[in-house]
Amino acid sequence: MSGHSKWSTIKRRKGAEDAKRAKLFTRAAKEIIIAARDGGGDENTNPRLKLAIQRARAVNMPRENIERAIKRGTGEIEGGEAMAEIVYEGYGHEGVAFIVEVMTDNKNRTLAEVKNVFNKMGGNLATSGAVQWQFEQLGYITLKGDKLDFDALFMVAAEAGADDVVDEDGVMTVYTPRTALAAVEEALRSAGYEIEESELRWFAKNEVDISLEAAVKNMKLMERLEELDDVQNVATNMSLTEDMMAAYESA
């Protein structure tokens, strides 16, 4: 998980992680729409919707926007039925594997945009299943607040089913099995912790070593992919060093 963690750290330093409020709202709305469509509009009986609403509130999404997204998902307002979740797979420089998660109401548009970024940045889109076997999906939770007690946090998270707690450049991050994300988040909230992010993300089972030049090119490819409106998350299996991170930040 070190490559993904370092990439997250870089984005925090550069302030590039979803810097535009409009994109934050768009991503949150899509999650709510799909959650409500698949599990109903009552957050008390739909754990996925409850998590999506909590994430929307965490980025200060207005209540009317949240309610409108729920209604789109339940069919009270048109548009939710066309929304789809898709995982694209691809290759970057020196054979690095990419997983690109999207939520879209226009599959053809999104496929064209993702393919265009891969082609322009020196990578290529792969067929379904080509690289996904190299990854696993885990729960990913980050917490707000300075000077959190690591041991106390670890005990709460571990007792709820978390795999690990890591201090990543001053940000406490909790990793969970895929099926334990909701339970761990609920335990943390009940214990008084403020959640910053909580979602399922793909992580490489084994990271690959590449050259500094290729690492910078791959990070630029990741950045371009994440700028697309329909892209929710991007994961790779490249191993990053401090030198690579510094080279990218100064590029």
What's the token pair of residue 47? 């754990």
3-state SS assignment for residue 96: coil
Single pTM value for the model: 0.82
Q: Is the pLDDT of residue 4 over 80?
A: no
Q: Is the pLDDT of residue 238 over 90?
A: yes
In which band, very low, low, confident or very high, does the pLDDT at 77 lie, cut at 50, 70 and 90? confident
Give the E-state strand segments of 11-93 in sequence order. Answer: 84-91
| Mean pLDDT, range 125-134, rounded to an integer | 95
Q: Give dist(CA 162, CA 178) in Å, integer.
A: 10
Q: Is the pLDDT of residue 245 over 90?
A: no
* Predicted confidence (pLDDT) per residue in 144-203, tens digit: 877 899 999 999 999 999 999 998 777 899 999 999 998 998 899 899 998 888 888 899
Alpha helical stretches, state H, 95-234: 107-120, 150-159, 181-190, 212-226
Q: With pLDDT > 70 as the criterion, what percentage of the chain qualifies?
A: 91
Angle at 233 between CA 149 and CA 77, to 5 degrees: 105
Q: Give dist(CA 196, CA 173) in Å, integer.
A: 10
In 3D, which of 246, 247, 236, 244 has the Cα closest to residue 4? Answer: 236
Give 99's strand partners: 89, 235
pLDDT of residue 182: 84
Q: Which strands make up the sheet holding 97-104, listed edge to edge?
A: 124-126, 84-91, 97-104, 231-236
CB 17 within 8 A of CB 59: no
Residue 38 DSSP symbol: H
H or E segment and range at residue 18: none
Q: Is the pLDDT of residue 13 over 70?
A: no
Q: Which of 4-18, 34-48, 49-63, 204-218 has the lowest mean pLDDT?
A: 4-18
Q: Which of 10-24, 129-143, 145-159 has the lowest mean pLDDT?
A: 10-24
In 3D, which of 162, 154, 218 has the Cα closest to residue 185? Answer: 162
CB 202 within 8 A of CB 235: yes
| Mean pLDDT, range 210-217, rounded to an integer | 96
Mean pLDDT taken over the chain: 88
Dihedral pair phi/psi, residue 200, rounded to 5°: -85, 135
pLDDT of residue 155: 96
